[in-house]
Structures are given as structure tokens and as C-alpha cells.
Structure 1
């Protein structure tokens, strides 16, 4: 076992009786084995061949690469050696990239920089933070899609309620699909014929002076606001002529004040 450490350059570890070190053979999966070879900077060839005795000692693994039991520790599946002399030197000599914080002035000479903390940052922790941020982004996307879907459902529900309100309200549109009821309430043979008559009289009907103003000495320039559509006023008029319903009954049917029905 003592000579097996030569697969890792610059490593001087040897097997010890106290068990402070553990030695790990190369994994069998080709993809993971290739990652190990890249990590230790060795290529197989005339001077190096991976055998069942080729090992990497525990000095080159991080504590979180292991799983522990009361009696032993073993490498987690997919672990890759990452601690080497050259990686430690690179971490010490590496300079943080000059990244300006969005809230920092361009010519700021402050001794504290948002990038200063990167010097002491573990690259593995950076990777984990990046993965965590990506996970949060991925989680937020379904929430946004669910919200948009709910908005569309509410819009459809609103349109359906408006249609239902139109159908339930006593007025011309409620009987648009039933010519027999149109004839019963107005004497017109069909809804289409009633609409054609309305379009014919609409220009004059829009300028008519109501009985309310005819009885008054002066007409307000602002005019009396309508609380019913003009076509429903005409429909009410023909219902009154056809069936002779009292004003109170018309006010209840059309959901208006009795003065409007009069």
C-alpha cells in the first residue's frame, strides 16, 4: 500500500497503523473515473496505468465527501477528490474578479468591496449557492404559471357571470333566443324584427324628451341620467302595451324604481 500513493503527484501519504488515513481505489464507472483522472492531473499511458491497487488517500477529499457510521466512514457515491497542493495555491493567489455592485458609485474608493468576500469563499460553497439560487428560480416558475392560469380562470368566470346576469335579468336579451316569448311580450313576431324596428326609431328615440321633463319648467343641461338601456326602455313600453302590466310590476321585473317605469 505504501507505493500506491504515487498515482497522485506530490502526495507523500503512506499507510499508517493508527488508521488516520484511508485509501480509495478508482471508481468503476468510466465517467466518474475520468473525473478522478482529471482531478489528479494524470492521463493513462506508458508511465501510468490504473489498476486495482491504484488509490487516492483521504487527504484529497473533503469531510462532506464522506458518509459516517458508528464503525467506519465511506465515500459518498459520486465523490471526486478536490484537495491538492496546486488547488490550495490557486485559491490563495487567485484574485476576485472586479465586479461592481449596482448600488456602488462608479468611482467609489471604499476599502470594503462586495467582491472582497470572494477571496475567502470556498468555490464548492459558491457552486452550492448557485445551484440553490437556480433551484429557487425553477420553483418560482411553476408558481408564476399557476398565477397566470388562475387569472385566466377568473376572467372566464367573470364573463360567465356577466352572461348569466344578462340571462336572469328581465329584458330583451333574456328572450333573444325565444321568438314565441318575444311575440307574447311585444307582439313582434321575432327578436330580429324587434331589433330592426329599434334601429329604425333609435335616432329619434335618443333625442326624445321624457315625460319627466315635459312636466318641468326647465330642462337640466346635464340631462337626467339613464339607468336602463334605451332598447330595454322600448321593450318595457311594448310589454306595458301588450300585457297591460301595472307600473309596480314593471319596476320589479326590470329592477328599477317605479318612477322610471312610469
Structure 2
């Protein structure tokens, strides 16, 4: 630059001056490019965009909430899926019931009840169960279970009832099938899906 040259006598540069004019750049200064910050500001002013700080705040708005319509659509979708699950569970119960041999499978058919139990109908069988068997079911003593004639201690814990492979009403049904048809224990065990010793 001319102001960086010391005139008088021998031409020299001032201390701290940096030569920038050379023959290879035709002794012209290069056009200074605006900084990234200047270019960004100019672009925002030209396009009418929001300042950088505001755009960053919008990008990171963690307090924003979805529109109500989106929530309604999500709720409807979840509700529809729940209905599908309920329907599939119902079908699964029907298939499982059709494969299971027990009273629940035949209670809608009086003909089958007569064949397997010799009761006239399910209504007669159920009346026998409700009035004769179920009221005394807690006093049933099973094989291998000790029976005591002593007076029970009221402070003691009640005796633990043994775990059953079948509901008690199905045990009655199994016994009646055995009496009515005379099936072998292995056959009954296979039908009711229990071990042969349980049938015995």
C-alpha cells in the first residue's frame, strides 16, 4: 500500500507493514470476501428470515405439544387395535375350548350331557352340582390326606387345600364319564390332558 512506504532516500516499508502488491497479482489487492457471519446476516436480511437465535429456539422447543388432531388419530388407532386384540382373544378361547375335553365344552348340548353323564340335561347336572356336591366340597378328604377327628384350633391357620389339575366340577364330570362309558384310565387321562395317576 502507498501509505506503508517510507519516502525519502531509499524506499522502504514501515515497521509492521506486509507487502501485498506483486507482479503475479498485477499489483492489485484481492477482493476481500465477507466472513461467514456477515454472509449469514446478509442472507437473513435478504430473505426476510428470522434471526439465528430465534430459529435455534424454535428448533429446540422442548415445550411444544402435538396438535389435538394428532392425539385424536392416535387414540382412534389404539382403540381399533384393542378391539382387534379382544376379537383375537375370543377366537383363541373358542379354539381352545373346542380342543379341550371338559364340561364347559358340552354344557350347551343336552344330548352330549346325557351321553357322558347320564343326566337328562346340563340344567339337571348343574342343579346336582350346586345343591349336592359344591356345598360339601370343602369337607372332602382325599387319598393321602390325613383326616383328624380332633377339634380344630380356631387360632391355627386353615389347612392348605391341595392343588388340583382340574376344577372340582370337571373332576365330577370325569368320574361320571368313567361310570357312564367305562373308559380306561389312560383314555381319560388323554382326554382330560392330565396324568394317569391324577385320574386314578
The 2-side partners of 1:64 and 1:119 are apart by 12
Matches within 5 A, 1:126-137: none
Q: Alpha carbons of 1:144 and 1:64: their partners in 2 closer, same or farther (altered >3 Å)?
A: farther
| Correspondence 1:195 to 2:126 | yes
Structure 2 partner of 1:179: 110
Distance 1:214 1:184, change over 3 A: farther
1:43 is aligned to none
1:253 maps onto 2:177 in alignment: no
Secondary structure (helix, strand or coil) at the match of 2:145 reads helix
RMSD: 3.6
**Equivalence for 2:160:** 222
Question: Gaps spanning 5+ residues in structure 2: where?
Answer: 1-44, 148-157
* Normalised TM-score (structure 1): 0.45
Aligned-partner Cα distance in 2 for 1:223–1:139? 54
Change (3 A) 1:210 1:63: same
State the 1:199 CA deviation: 0.6
**Partners of 1:62 and 1:142 in 2: CA distance:** 40
Within 5 Å, which residues of 2 pair with 1:23-34?
none
Report deviation, 1:230: 1.0
Q: TM-score, normalised by structure 2?
A: 0.58
For the Cα contact (< 8 Å) 1:167–1:173, is it kept in 2?
A: no
**What is the distance in 2 between the residues matched to 1:189 and 1:181?**
10
- The residue aligned with 1:33 is none
Q: Gaps spanning 5+ residues in structure 1: where?
A: 1-60, 66-90, 92-117
SS in 1 for 2:144: helix
Cα displacement (A) at 1:120: 5.0
- Mapped contact 1:169–1:254 kept (Cα < 8 A): yes
CA, structure 1 residues 170+120, in 2 after alignment: closer, same or farther (shift >3 Å)?
closer
- Match in the other structure for 1:234: 172
Instruction: Note if 1:168 corresponds to 2:106.
Output: no
Alpha-carbon spacing, 1:247–1:214, altered in 2? closer, same or farther (3 Å): farther
